[in-house]
Structure 1
Amino acid sequence: MNISVEKLLRKIEEELTLAKNSPRPENLREKVYSIKILCELILDEKQRSKEAPQNPVPAFQPVTVQPSFVQPVTLNQPKKIEMEDEANGDSLFDF
């Protein structure tokens, strides 16, 4: 959302008028702080326009993911466990 500098300056003038007519110090401080923020917005916008690249980079850049292959971990078992209950294989699910 781009807000023109003219609009910001008008808002600063409004806040300044309110600050001048403020009866309480708290209100004066609030209005002065608002003016400060509006001034910073103008300065930031001017700075951005100077630093803006000629060819802006799109916000979304697709990323290609390379599949990674993981080798299965091998366990070194010195000796196969012998079962006496007539099991058919090494798995718990072999019957």
Structure 2
Amino acid sequence: MMISTEHIIMQIDKQLGQAKGTGNEQSKREALAAIRALCDLALESVATSQTAPVVQAVSVAPTIQQPVALKEDDANGESLFDF
């Protein structure tokens, strides 16, 4: 399940209100850390939804089959013109 960007922004706004409303330095730092985490989450979800799957092209070299040399008992060589 994907969290909507609007929901994340609402949570950022809530945490910002908590950071502004408290006089406790530790509570401000915790709210700011939560805002940072929410921003990272929002940016990650936007980047993931806009990125197309990566498909790697694999090149396969064609195999060249060497002609099979047929050996005849009375042949003089490998060429068709060897009599």
Tell me if TM exceeds 0.5: yes
- What TM-score do the two structures reach when normalised by structure 1? 0.53
Q: State the distance in 1 between where 2:35 and 2:52 align.
A: 26
Structure 2: give runs of 5+ residues left out of the alignment: 55-83
Structure ranking higher on relative contact order (CA contacts 8 Å, 6+ apart): 2
The structure 1 segments of at least 4 consecutive aligned residues displaced by more than 6 Å after TM superposition are: none
**Are residue 14 (structure 1) and residue 14 (structure 2) matched?**
yes
Give me the TM-score of the superposition, normalised by structure 2: 0.61
**CA RMSD, 1 decimal:** 1.7
Larger relative helix fraction: 2
Q: Give the corresponding residue for 1:28.
A: 28
Identity within the alignment, %? 33
Task: Report SS of the residue matched to 1:40.
Answer: helix
- What runs of 5+ residues in structure 1 fail to find an aligned partner? 55-95
Other-structure match for 1:39: 39
